Amino acid sequence: MKWLSDELLVETYQAALILGLSDDFIKLVYMELEARGLLNSYEEGQNRISSESFRL
């Protein structure tokens, strides 16, 4: 997952939720988003997403 851009990682997570992919895959992507600091709903920026959009 480390080779994906932040934007692509976010889009991958959103698509995985929409398509109903496995919980293991969704959790893997979620953990990478968390590691990159992309879950912080208080920061602004095009690659920031609200943690409210996550189902885990």
At 6-55, the pLDDT tens digits run 999 999 999 999 999 999 999 999 999 999 988 864 344 444 555 555 55
29, 16 in Cβ contact below 8 A?
yes
Q: How far apart are CA 37 and CA 26, in angstroms?
A: 17
Burial, 30: exposed, middle or buried (Cβ in 10 Å; 0-12, 13-18, 19+)? buried
Does any domain span residue 53? no
* Residue 13 lies in domain: 1-40
Residue 56 confidence (pLDDT) = 53
Residue 51 confidence (pLDDT) = 53
Residue 45 confidence (pLDDT) = 47
The Cβ-side half-sphere exposure at 51, using a 13 Å CA radius, reads 10
Residue 18 confidence (pLDDT) = 95
Q: How far apart are CA 42 and CA 12, in angstroms?
A: 22
Does any domain span residue 16? yes
For the chain, how many structural domains are there in total? 1
Residue 1 sits in a domain whose CATH number is 1.10.287
